[in-house]
Structure formats: structure tokens, C-alpha cells
Amino acid sequence: MPAPKHILAIRLSAMGDVAMTVPVIKAVLKQNPELIITFISRPEFAGFFNDIPRLSYFSVDLNNEYKGLKGIVKLFRTLNKNTQYDALADLHDNLRTKILRKLFRLSGLPYAYVDKGRPEKKLLTRFPGKVLKPLKLTTERYADVFIDLGFNAHLDHQLVKHPQLLTTEILAISGEKTKPWIGIAPFAKHKGKIYPLERTEEVIKLLDNRNVNIFLFGGSVLEQEICEQWQEKYVSVISLVRKTTMEQELAIISRLDVMMSMDSAGMHLASLEGIPVVSVWGATHHYAGFLGYGQSEGDIVADDIECRPCSIYGNKPCFRKDYACLYNIQPETIVAAIDKHIR
């Protein structure tokens, strides 16, 4: 029997981007039974990769142990010291990973890296003279890296539900499921991707009249405060912000009927568990390739204002100053899209 092929794969951030690698990694391992993968990323994302056969997860603390250029050199030495690899799959292509792959190249290790399609994305966001056409999905760009290395990497883009056991600790927060469960992930890193919070509260208010439970997802202390205020005002709302581990959060997501999310990590976490997402898009556009794995374009809620998209990541200020792409979306439109999944 030939020795198994051992691939290093790396994607360091952000949460949603790392989550999008998971269905690709699973597909590659399933289609290449001779392959084993060591995946390199941050400690907080390890829960995404639990129970994947022939995968080991290498946690990298980039804020301390592996910080800066010296940290990348240390990471290279640590990885290169004890294990023989056959190739490096760079799913990030940022400064850190460029340095890392060049160090491995000096030791004779072949590599392939993701093509982010930057020139065509510039045309997509240009205004005026926008070239509004669908670009390759990010998950397909990740798959191409493994294809370049000589492996099979076909993606079926199907949602597959993975309902998880709800432990006693989780049930103490969520309660038993006796009615439809709706998740709402209302936050994102950049303002251009966040549906106005007063409008999100209108969505919650409309859903509160139905026989449902609404679970709120977030991360920061400020997001926790906002969600706890909504929990106090609406009887159907349960805030999960800063109350659960990543594994517990994924377990609850696995039992949802539908998730409402921005173009952000919430959408991609729901995709991991096979849950349909009503995704709300403002300054960004799914044509850039970031629609959640297996998600339907029919569940997208967005306005067709001509300047959209103005940004790939939502990080550019609105040149109109009014974020009309978000304010033009009515809460009733979002609720109607959610209703399709809970009736």
C-alpha cells in the first residue's frame, strides 16, 4: 500500500471564511480516501472541524505564540520539525500565508493557493461602469486549490442537516423544542452589511406574534447588551450571546428551522448544519461569491439599487451617506421570507 498523502491546509480568518472551508475539506477527504489533512487556523474555530475523519486541527495563536514575522517563522519550524508533508494548500493568500508557503518552498514542499479574483471583484464594485455578473463561489475557489494539487474536489452545494443532541446544559438555555425555532444573527463586522438594528427589532416584533422561539446570535459585549434588551421586551426571544461555547451554539443552530443572517458568519455557521438562511445583503452582493454553501438565491433579501455592490466586504463608507441599500428593505419582506420555512 502506498503511503497516504498528507496535506497542510491553512485559513487563518475570518470566522465566516474559515467556516466556508469546512464543506470543501469534507468533500476532498471523502473523494480522496488516500489523503489526510492537517488544518491550520485559530483556536476559536476548532469546533467547526470536530469529528472529520483523517483531519487533525492545528491551533495557531497569532496574538501571542505565533505573533508577527518571528511567529510565522516559529510556526514553520514547528510544522516542519516532526511531520513529512506532501503539499501546502493556502486557502487564504494573505501576507502571513505567503511568507509561510515561501518558507516551505525553500524546503522543497509544493503548494497551491487560492485565486481570490481581485480584478473581477473590482469591476463588480465599480460605480459607474459596474460589471454586474456572478463570479465563482468562494467554496469553488477553495476546491480549485486542491484540484491544482492533483486531488478530486467536486462540490454538490447541497444542504445536509446534522441535528445534534442537546445536552442538559444547552437545554437549560434553549428549553425543549416544541415550536419552530428561528435564529437571528443581526450583526456583522462592517456597517455596510448590518440591517439597521431598529428594523431588525421590527422583524423580531412581527415574529413575536407567531408561535415560535427566536434565538439571537452575536459575540461582543455590546451585541450582548442589545440582544438582552430584546430578550426582556419579547417573550419568544432567547439571547445566546456570550452564553454558549461554539460547539453548543452549533448544536442549537442544527435544530433551527431557519436562520436570518447578514452576509456574515451566521449564514456560514447555519450552512455547516444544513439550515436554510434568509440572508440580508446591503452594500455587498452574493455575486462576489460569498453566499453560504448550499444556500438558495431564492432566500436572499436585497435591494437592487444601482450602486450596489459598492464593496466586497462592506467596509467602505456609503457614498450616498444614507445606506439606502439597507433601509430600502422592509421588515415585512424579511418576515415573509422567513415564513416560507416555518409554515
- pLDDT tens digits in sequence order for the chain, 343 residues long: 566 799 999 999 999 999 999 999 999 999 999 999 999 999 999 999 999 999 999 999 999 999 999 999 999 999 999 788 999 999 999 999 999 999 999 999 999 999 999 999 999 999 999 999 999 999 999 999 999 999 999 999 999 998 999 999 999 999 999 999 999 999 999 999 999 999 999 999 999 999 999 999 999 999 999 999 999 999 999 999 999 999 999 999 999 999 999 999 999 999 999 999 999 999 999 999 999 999 999 999 999 999 999 999 999 999 999 999 999 999 999 999 999 999 7
Under a CB-based contact definition with an 8 Å cutoff, are residues 139 and 295 in contact? Answer: no
Measured CA to CA, the distance from residue 75 to residue 327 in angstroms comes to: 45
pLDDT of residue 3: 65
pLDDT of residue 82: 75
Res 131: pLDDT: 97
Residue among 283, 284, 279 nearest 321 (CA): 283
State the CB neighbour count (10 A cutoff) for residue 216.
25
In this predicted structure, what is the pLDDT of residue 2?
A: 60
What pLDDT was estimated at residue 149? 96
Q: What pLDDT sits at residue 83?
A: 83
Name the DSSP class of 280.
E
For residue 58, count other CB atoms closer than 10 A to its CB. Answer: 16
Q: How many Cα atoms sit within 13 Å of 165 on the Cβ side?
A: 3
Dihedral of CA atoms 32, 138, 50, 84 in degrees, nearest 10, equals 50
**Cα dist from 311 to 93, 143, 154, whole Å:** 19, 24, 29
Tell me the CA distances in angstroms from 223 to 206, 228, 231, 239, one per residue in order: 21, 9, 12, 10
